[in-house]
Amino acid sequence: MAGIADSKIADTGTPIKSKFYEHHSRKDLSVKYGLDFDLPTIMVMGGGHGMIRDGLSTFRELDALPQPKQLIIVCGHNDKLRHQLKDELKVPNRYERER
C-alpha cells in the first residue's frame, strides 16, 4: 500500500456553528441590525483571529465604490481591526456589538 493511511487523514476547515445554517427573514434582520432592506449588502468575515490581517485596503476599496451599499464586517476578536475600520471608513456605523 502506497501513500498515507486513511486513519492519518482528516477533513478540516473553518468551524461553523450550526446556528449559521438557520434560516432568518432578511427583512427581520434588516430591522434588527439597522440595515436598509433595499440596499445591496456586502458581508466580510475572517477578522477574529487575524485572517484578514492588513485587509484595510480591501475595505477602503469597497467603501470607495460609488454604488450605494452597506457593509457588514465581522471582526470577531480582532479589536485592532474593528477600531481601524471604525476610524477610517466613511460608512456610518449603525450597529456594533462589543464582546
Lowest-confidence pick of 22-31, 33-42, 46-55, 88-97: 46-55
Q: How confident is the model at residue 78 (pLDDT cuts 50, 70, 90)?
A: confident
Q: How would you class 53 by CB atoms within 10 Å of its CB: exposed for 0-12, middle for 13-18, buried for 19 or more?
A: exposed
Q: How confident is the model at residue 91 (pLDDT cuts 50, 70, 90)?
A: low
Q: Give the tens place of pLDDT for each residue, 55-75.
A: 677 777 887 888 988 888 877
Lowest-confidence pick of 28-37, 42-51, 65-74: 42-51
The string of DSSP codes covering the chain is --S--GGG---------GGGGS---HHHHHHHHT--TTS-EEEEE-TTTTSSSSTHHHHHHHHH-SS--EEEEE-TT-HHHHHHHHHH--S--------
Q: How confident is the model at residue 16 (pLDDT cuts 50, 70, 90)?
A: confident
